[in-house]
Structure 1
Amino acid sequence: MNSAVTRQSGTSLHPLHAFFLSGMVPLFIGVLLNDYAYWYSYELQWKNFASWMLIGALVFNGLAWLGSIVFLVRTDKRMGKPIIYFLLLLATFVIGIINSFIHAKDVWASMPTGLILSVITVILACITTWIGLTSWRIGGAR
């Protein structure tokens, strides 16, 4: 049986970049779960938890976005996927910031919009992480 290892064009993600990228997903999911818990029970503390987790998720998202700028500069421009990855991270960050502004409102004023934006950010964060962690690998058996 012959097995050859080939190199694909492109580079892999730096481990610190992958850490920030994968760290934002559970935080955004936590925001969604806290928003749902508030929507279900109207306990004020759930909204406070969601606001704090949202700040943590935005910090991780922002650091991953800065890493994607470096990754965009270092990779081959013909691939096209680093630009999609960069734009998805940027969209997740922008919608997360808007969600943070919504969460800064009064408790009763933030609920339907905050929950909807949390769902959107979770979906975008999962898609972005999927693309970021699976698209650029080096090596492999042929």
Structure 2
Amino acid sequence: MTYPITRSYVAIAAPPLRSIPLHFSAACLTGALLTDIAYWRTAEMMWTNFSAWLLTFGLLLGALAAIAVLIDIFSGRLLLRGGLGWLYIIGNIAAFVVSLFNAFIHSRDAWASVVPTGLTLSIVAAVLIVINACLGWAIIRQRTGGLEE
């Protein structure tokens, strides 16, 4: 008895280009919140310097991620069907803009650079980042039909 030869193909999706710079940007911007809290609790100037550097690197990586998002959209790796995709894009832009204003606030002198405005903007940016992470996860789940990538 002979068995028919069948071939199975496994589709391997190319990872999104935005993934790495976006995740590192989110880590830097969330780290700025932690260093702002440390400055608020200790008043040690070193923490404001750390916050400024983390915001700067987070914004630079966010700009790289924005370019990668455009490439992902035009190559079909990020589909903007429905409101979920657009909400994801708008949320990422909002987090970037809030962090940009936060960087401007952190350029001020000492205590005024963090408390209360800088700390508040860091909290808002961190909340937006968490919401965008959940939206990104929902987009992946929607695209794969509930299967993990």
Q: Same fold (TM over 0.5)?
A: yes
Identical counterparts, % of pairs: 33
Q: Unmatched 5+ residue regions in structure 1?
A: 1-10
TM-score, length-normalised on structure 2? 0.76
Do residues 44 (structure 1) and 48 (structure 2) align? no
Q: Determine helix, strand or coil for the equivalent of 1:80.
A: helix
Provide the residue aligned with 2:126 in structure 1. Answer: 122
Q: 2:110 aligns with which of 107, 110, 134?
A: 107
Do residues 135 (structure 1) and 136 (structure 2) align? no
Shift of 1:76: 4.8
TM-score, length-normalised on structure 1? 0.79
More displaced 10-residue stretch of structure 1: 18-27 or 74-83: 74-83
Q: Determine helix, strand or coil for the equivalent of 2:18.
A: helix
Shift of 1:131: 1.4
Provide the residue aligned with 2:67 in structure 1. Answer: 66
Higher relative contact order (CA 8 A, sep 6+): 1
Check the 8 A contact 1:21/1:129 in 2, yes or no: no
For this pair of structures, how many residues does the alignment match? 130
Q: Distance in 2 between matches of 1:124 and 1:72?
A: 21
1:76 to 1:35, Cα distance in 2 relative to 1, 3 A:
closer
Q: Determine helix, strand or coil for the equivalent of 2:144.
A: coil
